Structure 1
Amino acid sequence: MIDKNKKLEKDKNVVFAFVLLLLIISTVYAAYMLFNAPSGIAQNEYERVKSDYVLMILQCVLGCIIIFLPSKVEHLFHIDIPDLMEIIYFIFLFCAIYLGEVRNFYLRIAYWDVILHCFSAAMLGAVGFMIVNILNSSEKISIQLSPFFVALFAFSFAILCGTVWEIYEFTADGILGTNMQKFMSGNRTLLVGREALLDTMEDLVVDCFGALIVTMIGYFDLRKKHLKLELK
Structure 2
Amino acid sequence: MKSKLIIILSSCFIAFMAILTIYYVLKGDSSRWQVASGGILISALPLLLLLPKIKNLFPTLLIIGYFIFIFCTVFLGSIANFYINVKWWDTSLHFYKGMLVGLAAISLYGLLVPESAKSRISKWFIFLFVLSLSVLSSVIWEIYEFIGDHTYTHTMQRGGNTDTMTDLTAGFIGALFAAVYSITLNKK
Q: TM-score, normalised by structure 2?
A: 0.86
Which residue, out of 2, 25, 35, partners 1:31? Answer: 25
The CA deviation at 1:160 is 0.9
Alpha-carbon distance in structure 1 between the residues aligned to 2:178 and 2:54:
26
Corresponding residue number in structure 1 for 2:75: 98
SS across alignment from 2:155: coil
Which residue, out of 206, 209, 216, partners 2:173? Answer: 209
**More moved, 108-117 vs 203-212:** 108-117
Q: Cα RMSD (Å) of the superposition?
A: 2.4
The CA deviation at 1:24 is 1.4
Corresponding residue number in structure 2 for 1:120: 97
**Contact persistence 1:92–1:120 (CA under 8 A):** yes
The CA deviation at 1:117 is 0.9
**Cα–Cα, structure 1 residues 70 and 24, in superposed 2: closer, same or farther, change >3 Å?**
same
Which protein has the bigger helix share?
2
**Contact persistence 1:122–1:214 (CA under 8 A):** yes
Deviations 1:79-124 (A, max 9, x none): 4122221111111101110111111112232301111111111000
Corresponding residue number in structure 1 for 2:12: 18
Corresponding residue number in structure 2 for 1:149: 125
The CA deviation at 1:161 is 1.0
Unaligned runs of 5+ in 1: 1-5, 38-52, 184-195, 227-232
The CA deviation at 1:180 is 0.6
Corresponding residue pairs, total: 186
**Contact persistence 1:26–1:102 (CA under 8 A):** no
**Contact persistence 1:114–1:203 (CA under 8 A):** yes
Matched, 1:161 2:137: yes
State the AA in 2 paired with 1:22: F
Corresponding residue number in structure 2 for 1:133: 110
The CA deviation at 1:26 is 1.8
**Contact persistence 1:16–1:87 (CA under 8 A):** no
Higher-Rg member (1/2):
1
Q: TM-score, normalised by structure 1?
A: 0.71
Alpha-carbon distance in structure 2 between the residues aligned to 1:222 and 1:151:
10
The 5-angstrom pairing of residues 67-82 of structure 1 reads 67-73=43-49, 75=51, 77-80=53-56, 81-82=58-59
**Contact persistence 1:22–1:98 (CA under 8 A):** no
The CA deviation at 1:212 is 0.4
**Same amino acid, percent of matched pairs:** 27
Unaligned runs of 5+ in 2: none
Alpha-carbon distance in structure 2 between the residues aligned to 1:158 and 1:148:
15
Alpha-carbon distance in structure 2 between the residues aligned to 1:83 and 1:220:
20
